[in-house]
């Protein structure tokens, strides 16, 4: 751990964090867990490979998934992220009132057992859905698109199929994410 400190502030789940003096080589995941008490983002391999630590970075290129375990606060400084705690709607006391479509679909499809990988899958599927809002794909390309988006995430319990099916169902049942949907909607008088 470096002795050098860095003053860091970023936007997490829509709120700006208080500027904090952090070791300059601190990783984003440790900042989330140890400094902000946002413990939902998981530590898996620590090498950016398993994607249990995936969070959404809202940058200039739109939402993209990054591995928080290998992304330093030096890069995260001044940027905007969404963690698993920021997806569902909450009431004024912080209680969850409404899950997102992706989260609900994962529950409905029994997509996970131990759930360790789930925050990463929620991030990957949500970022995909949001990218499709801006750039929809043909319905027959959805299967492949979902596979490509979720392929980096590792799950050791259920074998992926239920995550893939849940994400595919969300995309196919949400207007505007596939091109035929766009065509049908535009065709209505």
Partner 1 sequence: MRRALVILAATLASLAVVALVVYLVFTGPGDIPAPSRDLATLTPEAHAELVQAGEYVARAGDCVACHKSPDGLSLAGGTPMETPFGTIYGSNITPSPSHGIAGYSADDLYRVMVYGIAPDGRRLYPAMPYTSYHAISRADNDALWVWLMAQEPVARANRPAELIFPFNLRPLLAFWNLIYRPAPPDQPNSGLTAADEDPLERGRYLVEVLGHCSECHTPRNLAYARQSDAHLQGYVIEDALAPDITPAALARRGWTAGDLARFLSEGLAPQGVMTFRMFPVLSHSTKYMTPEDITAVAAYLMQNAPAASPPLPRLEAITENPEGHQLYLGLCAGCHGAEGEGQPFGSVPLRSNTSAMFDNPLNLVRIIREGIPARHLTGFQRMQEMPAFDDRLEDAELTALVNYLRQRWGGHADELSLEAVRDIQE
| CB hemisphere CA count around 185 (13 angstroms) | 9
Give rounded-to-5 percent helix, strand, coil for the chain. Answer: 40, 20, 40
- Report if residue 73 touches partner 1, rule: CB under 8 A: yes
- Report if residue 5 touches partner 1, rule: CB under 8 A: no
In SS3 terms, 110-169 reads as CCCCCCCCHHHHHHHHHHHHHHHHHCCECHHHHHHHHHHHHCCCCCCCCCCHHHHHHHHH
- 3 state SS of 90: strand
Interaction mask 24-63, partner 1, x per CB under 8 A: xx-x-------------------xxx-----------x--
The residue from 71, 153, 167, 178 that contacts partner 1 (CB under 8 A) is 71
- Report if residue 2 touches partner 1, rule: CB under 8 A: yes
- Stretch of 22-30, 127-135, 153-161, 164-172 contacting partner 1, by CB under 8 A: 22-30
Residues that bind partner 1 (CB under 8 A): 1-2, 6, 24-25, 27, 47-49, 61, 64, 67, 69-77
């Amino acid at each position: 751990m470096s002795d050098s400190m860095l003053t860091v502030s970023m936007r997490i789940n829509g709120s700006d964090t208080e500027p904090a003096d952090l070791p300059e080589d601190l990783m984003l995941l440790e900042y989330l867990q140890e400094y902000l008490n946002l413990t939902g983002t998981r530590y898996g391999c620590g090498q950016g490979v398993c994607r249990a630590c995936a969070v959404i970075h809202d940058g200039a290129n739109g939402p993209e998934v990054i591995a928080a375990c290998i992304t330093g606060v030096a890069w995260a400084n001044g940027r905007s992220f969404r963690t698993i705690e920021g997806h569902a709607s909450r009431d004024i006391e912080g209680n969850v009132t409404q899950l997102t479509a992706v989260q609900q679909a994962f529950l409905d499809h029994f997509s996970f057992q131990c759930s360790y990988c789930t925050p990463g899958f929620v991030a990957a599927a949500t970022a995909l859905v949001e990218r499709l809002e801006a750039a929809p794909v043909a319905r027959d390309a959805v299967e492949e698109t979902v596979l490509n988006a979720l392929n980096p995430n590792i799950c050791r319990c259920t074998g992926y199929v239920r995550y893939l099916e849940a994400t595919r169902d969300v995309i196919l049942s949400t207007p505007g994410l596939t091109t035929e949907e766009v065509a049908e909607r535009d065709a209505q008088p």
